[in-house]
Every structure is written in C-alpha cells, then in structure tokens.
Chain A
Amino acid sequence: MSQDTELSHFLKDVHWLMDILQNIDVGLVVLDQNYEISLWNQFMQNHSGKAPEIVLNQTLFSVFPELSEDWFRRKAEPAFILKSATFTTWEQRPYLFHFPHYRPITGTARFMYQNTTIIPLMNTNGQVSHICLIVYDVTDSAMNKLAQIEANNRLEGLSRIDHLTQLYNRGYWEQCLEKEFKRFDRYQIPASLIMFDIDHFKSVNDTYGHIAGDDVIRMVSATLRSQLRDTDLAGRYGGEEFGVVLTNTDTAGAVELTERLRKQIENQMVVFGEQEIKITVSLGICELNETIDSYQQWLESADKALYYCKEHGRNQSYSLPQTP
C-alpha cells in the first residue's frame, strides 16, 4: 500500500471518529490542567447554546460561573493525580451544567439531570495532561426513580397510619417501641411509655352507637396529636387504647403530659346529634429502667399502671415504678 492511500485511510478513520464524537448523544468536554476547554462537542454546544469558538481556551469556571470550582476540582483532581476515572451522579448533585429541559410534551423535569464521568487522558509520556468530562442525560431514569421513591414513601405512610385516628397503627407503633427500647439499652437515654384508654368506652358505644364511639375516638386522638412533640411516637394500640413513646423524657415529664391531656379531654365534649357526650381517660406511665428487659415487659408495666388507675376511680394518671 502506498503512503498516500495509508494516509487517506487514516484521515477517513479520523473523519469518522470526529463525526461520531460530534453526533454521539452524550456531552464531551476535554479540559487541560488549568481547566481550559480544549474540546466541546455538538451535544454540549446544542444544550448550552454556547458555540465552540466562544468556549474554547476559556476556563470551565469562567464559562459556567454557577459551577462550583471547589467542588469540581475535588472531583477532577483524582483523575489527574490517581489516573483513574471519577464519577458524579444526579443523586449527589442533579446536574453539572444547568441545561433547561427541552421536550415540551414528554419532558416533566425543569432541567436535565446528569451523571458525569471524568476520565484521565494520557499524553505520550504517560502523564495525565488532560481530562475528558463525559456528560450523560439521565433525566428519564432520574424522574422514574424519584417517582418510585415518592410512591414508596406514600405506601409506607399508608401502611403505618391508622385511618380513624391518623396515629400510627399498632404494628408500626410496636416497631417504634422496640427501637426505643433498644436505644435505651445502648445509650441509656431516658424514655417513658404511656398507655391510656377511654373510661367506660363500652357504655358510650352501647348508649350512643358505634358512630358516636368513633367520634369520641377521633376527639381523643386529635387532642393527643395536638399535645405531641415531634419526637413523640403515638399509636392506636387497640379499639380505644392508645400508646405514646416519649423519647428523652422521664416520669415527671410524662406525668406533665398525661395530666395536661387528661384535663383537656375531661373539659371537652363530643356533640353527636342532640347529644353531648363527655368522657374521661385513664393513663398509665412507665419510665424505662435497667430492670425491664424487653419491650413487652415495658408495655406490661405501663399497662399495670393503667389498671391501677382503673381500680382507683379512673380519670387519673399513675406511674410505675413508684419513686419513694
């Protein structure tokens, strides 16, 4: 083969490669050690609206002032120093370059989510003289994943919440109780448990019917919710029985809450048709201590305190163990 044809083959290959680089549906940017742009492909040009003649030989940070220089250097330096590829994903930072989303019909995002890979480019001496930044448009998969996360969160919420009271249901609340118990085991952070129920609830149901009974439960749970701090975990344990886990709270703190709750419920009434229903609650408290060795036992102790109230006239709170 003559040198001429060899050269023309070579040129043809290069021409093809250049065509591919230009038309490939990913962004390609080559940067030198000063972060000056040496290559800017069609994808970058089209999405940024900046032509190569404007960006070439400019630093990346002067062309895109919104790109944090510190952040980007931290990603790119390992490629220079370690000669290995580094990656950024949309989950850490949604995009490197703010490219508005361009599809009016099927596009649901406001901007292009991007994953990027930074690969080292070696010169003939085996030194990394440049790096290549590869920008992938991952908008569709990011949107799908975000939608999936949202759906999962919603399902998780649905499976945790009791419909009538909007408190946690028994299953999830017991998990919280167990977690809190284990936390105490490990870190000795004080925690108290309240178990309470509505006094003579059966007679409310028998006298006014179950719909009125539901209204009463709703009133009690709404009052409870209004009294909770963010860290308190309240659940509906049974029909008219409720449980509240108070993190970082000793007996005195728990009694403060139960008394406030008790008085508030005592002073309210549920209007049902012509009827005005007044109810009271009894509340048992148990602060966690070393002698309790399972969350079930913790629950039992609080229940015992609740039964003490029942046996001593109801409409009161009582805590176990009693401090001398």
Chain B
Amino acid sequence: MTASLLNEDQRDCLQEIANVAMGQSADRLARLLDVFVVLSIPNVSVLTPNDVAMTLNSLQALDGHEQQLTGVCQGFIGDGIAGEALLIFNGTDYRDLAQLLKYDNNAENRSEILMDTTNVLGGACLHSLAQQLDTHFSLGSPTLLGEHYDIPDLLNKREVTWKNALVVEINYTIEDHRVNCDLLLVISENCIDGLLEKLNYLLD
C-alpha cells in the first residue's frame, strides 16, 4: 500500500464490510433479475488520482474496444463520509443486459439501461455499506460517463484536490450472460475521517 490512510485493522474491517455489501447487493440483484451473480472478493486499495485514471484505462482496455469508457458515476455523502461510486461496464453485451432488465425492445437506448443497472447495483451496495456503518447516505443524481465526461482526462487535467483516495473495487459478473461490471467506490482522503471513526467503533 502506497500510503497509510488506514491501518491494517481498519483495512481488514473495511474489506469485511465490502464483502458483506457485495454479497447483499449481489443477492438483491439476483432476486430482482432472477439470475446468478458470480461473487468475487472486493479489493481495497489506496490510490493516487493517476492510479485511478490508470485503473479506469485498464478496465477500458479489457473491453477490447477503443471507445470511451462506458459507465455511470454517482456521488454519496453522509456522516463525515463522502465519495463517488463509479460503475464501469466492460465486456458487457447490452442486448443481454436489456433482456435481463426486461426491456422487450433491443433498440431501447443504452443510457437508460446503464442508469437502471446503476440504480440497482450502486444503490443496493451503498445502502448495505451505509447500513453496516450505521448511517445513511444521501445519493446524488447519477451522471453518464463518456458522453460529457472523460474521467481519465478529468483526473489528469483538472486540479484535483486530493493526493490519495481509498478505492473499493467490486466486480459483478452475471452467470450465463455477457454482463460484467466493476463498481469503484472512491473516497478521497479529505472525506475519510467519518469512515475511520466508524471503523474504529466497529473494531472496539
């Protein structure tokens, strides 16, 4: 780990919380869509803006297409914890996803499908996270990436006000469907105090 935003215990605790959030949100997704969701282990790391940009680029590269990043981001804030959830789709067949979400018409616009998935996945995961931390997040309106925002570009060009951020990366894959997405929860160092306090409380 490059910086010590968290100590070992806090990190383990957060990892555990992320595991549970992943499990719960996957369970909800599974029930809502009537599918099996393949579980993986969430990854907790501390990244610089550049690292985040590189992570996003690598997700994009996995996609094999040279398009812009497809995804949605949504801000969350509450109880001294604030950050942004990025849901990045790669290797996703939108027709498959549309079918799962019960859109009869494949021509349904793609942003709609992305938004719906964000509502379900991002919402469920953040809800579970907040619940475990005994708090409640206010969620901002989700924004589509790509069309108006190029995230790696934003992180490189704009003056970013943070040096390190806590990043929780969760991968969701739906069995027997070409649907794969990564949920990245990015909490910058300026907005982490509330989280540390909660983690310490849980550790005591």
Contacts and interface: CB of A to CB of B under 8 A. Distances in A.
Nearest to B25: A82
B50 to A, nearest CB: 26
A257 interface: no
A88 B124 CA distance: 16
A67 interface: no
Contacts of B109: 92
B113 to A, nearest CB: 9
B102 interface: yes
A145 B119 contact: no
Interface in A70-86: 74-75, 77-78, 81-86
B110 to A, nearest CB: 10
Chain B interface size, as a band, is 20 to 34
B141 A115 contact: yes
A31 B112 CA distance: 23
B89 to A, nearest CB: 15
Interface in B101-152: 101-102, 109, 111-112, 115-116, 118-120, 123-124, 126-127, 139, 141-144, 147-148
Nearest to A117: B141
B31 interface: yes
B111 A92 contact: yes
A75 B119 contact: yes
A85 B139 contact: yes
B124 A82 contact: yes
B142 A93 contact: no
Contact of A92 (B66, B112, B127): B112
A150 interface: no
Contacts of B144: 89, 91
Chain A interface size, as a band, is 20 to 34
A82 B123 contact: yes
A84 B118 CA distance: 11
Interface in B50-67: 64, 66
Contact of B120 (A78, A149, A182, A186): A78
Interface string B69-106: 00000100000000000000000000000000110000
A81 B124 CA distance: 10
A89 B142 contact: yes
A74 B74 CA distance: 19
Interface of B: 28, 31-32, 64, 66, 74, 101-102, 109, 111-112, 115-116, 118-120, 123-124, 126-127, 139, 141-144, 147-148
Interface of A: 74-75, 77-78, 81-89, 91-93, 115, 117, 145, 149, 179, 182, 186
B142 A74 contact: no
Contacts of B120: 78, 82, 86
B126 to A, nearest CB: 7
Contact of B123 (A84, A179, A186): A84
A82 to B, nearest CB: 5
30 contacts: A74-B101, A74-B116, A75-B119, A78-B120, A78-B123, A78-B124, A81-B28, A81-B32, A82-B28, A82-B32, A82-B123, A82-B124, A84-B119, A84-B123, A85-B123, A86-B119, A86-B123, A87-B74, A87-B119, A87-B141, A88-B115, A89-B142, A89-B143, A91-B111, A91-B144, A92-B109, A92-B115, A117-B141, A149-B148, A179-B66
Nearest to B28: A82
Contacts of B123: 78, 82, 84-86
Given A78-B119, A81-B32, A182-B66, A89 B127 contact: no
Going nearest first, the 6 A-B pairs with the smallest beta carbon separation are: A84-B123, A86-B119, A84-B127, A92-B112, A82-B124, A82-B28
A36 B25 CA distance: 29
A89 B119 contact: no
A142 B57 CA distance: 29
A115 B31 CA distance: 27
